[in-house]
Structure 1
Amino acid sequence: MLEPQLASVASESGADAYQNAILPKVSRTFALTIPQLPPPLRRAVTNAYLLCRVADTIEDEPAFSAEQKRRYEDAFIDAVTGRIDAQRFSAELAPLFSQRTLEAERDLVSQLPLVLQVTRSLGPAQRMAIVNCLKVMSHGMHDFQRNVGLHGLDTLRDMDCYCYCVAGVVGEMLTELLIDFDPTLASQREPLMRMAISFGQGLQMTNILKDQWEDYSRGVCWLPQDVFTRYGVRLEGLQAGQQDANYAGALTELIGVAHAHLRNALEYTLMIPAKHAGFRRFCLWSIGLAVLTLRKLQKNLDFSAGTQVKVSRRAVTYTIALTRLSGNYNTGLRWLFAATARGLPLTPLSAEWSSSPHTHLIWPKSAISYFAETA
Structure 2
Amino acid sequence: MVLADRAIGRLPLPTLAEAFEACRRETAEWAKTFYLGTLLMPPAKRRAIWAIYVWCRRTDELMDSPEAQQRSTAELAARLDAWEQRTRALFHGEVRDGLDLVMRDTIERFPQPLQPYLDMIEGMRMDLTTTRYASFEQLRLYCYRVAGTVGLMTQEVMGLDSAYTSAPWSDPPDTSEAAVALGIANQLTNILRDVGEDRGRGRIYLPQDELQRFGYSEEQLLAGVINDQWRALMRFQLQRAREWFTRSEMGVRWLAPDARWPVWASLRLYRGILDVIERHDYDVFNRRAYVPRRGKLLDLPFSFLIAQAR
Tell me the equivalent position of 1:267.
Answer: 250
Pairing 1:146–2:152 present: no
Pairing 1:201–2:181 present: no
How far, CA to CA, are the matches of 1:156 and 1:221 in structure 2? 12
Which structure dedicates a bigger proportion of its chain to helix? 1
Pick closer, same or farther for the CA change 1:248–1:15 going to 2, 3 Å: same
Unaligned runs of 5+ in 1: 1-6, 88-112, 331-375
CA contact (8 A) 2:214 2:232 kept: yes
Amino acid at match of 1:13: A
Amino acid at match of 2:193: K
How much has 1:219 moved relative to structure 2? 1.4
Tell me the equivalent position of 1:225.
Answer: 208
How far, CA to CA, are the matches of 2:14 and 2:187 in structure 1? 36
Tell me the equivalent position of 2:77.
Answer: 70
Pick closer, same or farther for the CA change 1:187–1:199 going to 2, 3 Å: farther
Tell me the equivalent position of 1:133.
Answer: 116
SS at match of 1:243: coil
CA contact (8 A) 2:242 2:271 kept: yes
TM-score, normalized by length of structure 1?
A: 0.70
Tell me the equivalent position of 1:58.
Answer: 62
Amino acid at match of 1:316: K
SS at match of 1:57: helix
SS at match of 1:328: helix
CA contact (8 A) 1:119 1:127 kept: no
SS at match of 1:162: helix
How much has 1:43 moved relative to structure 2? 2.4
Pick closer, same or farther for the CA change 1:22–1:124 going to 2, 3 Å: same
Alignment of 1:21-100 (within 5 A): 21-60=25-64, 61-82=68-89, 87=96
Tell me the equivalent position of 1:350.
Answer: none
- What per-residue deviation string (whole Å, max 9, x for no partner) do you get for residues 153-179 of structure 1? 110111111110111111122223334
Pairing 1:172–2:152 present: yes
- What per-residue deviation string (whole Å, max 9, x for no partner) do you get for residues 303-361 of structure 1? 1437443222221121123223443013xxxxxxxxxxxxxxxxxxxxxxxxxxxxxxx
Tell me the equivalent position of 1:162.
Answer: 142
Pick closer, same or farther for the CA change 1:86–1:234 going to 2, 3 Å: farther
CA contact (8 A) 2:231 2:281 kept: yes
Pairing 1:118–2:102 present: yes
How far, CA to CA, are the matches of 1:52 and 1:189 in structure 2? 26
Unaligned runs of 5+ in 2: 1-10
How much has 1:18 moved relative to structure 2? 2.5
Amino acid at match of 2:55: L
- Higher RCO (CA 8 Å, separation ≥ 6 residues): 2
SS at match of 2:39: helix
- RMSD (CA atoms): 2.7
Pairing 1:184–2:165 present: yes
Aligned-pair identity (%): 22
TM-score, normalized by length of structure 2?
A: 0.83
CA contact (8 A) 2:95 2:101 kept: no
How much has 1:255 moved relative to structure 2? 0.8
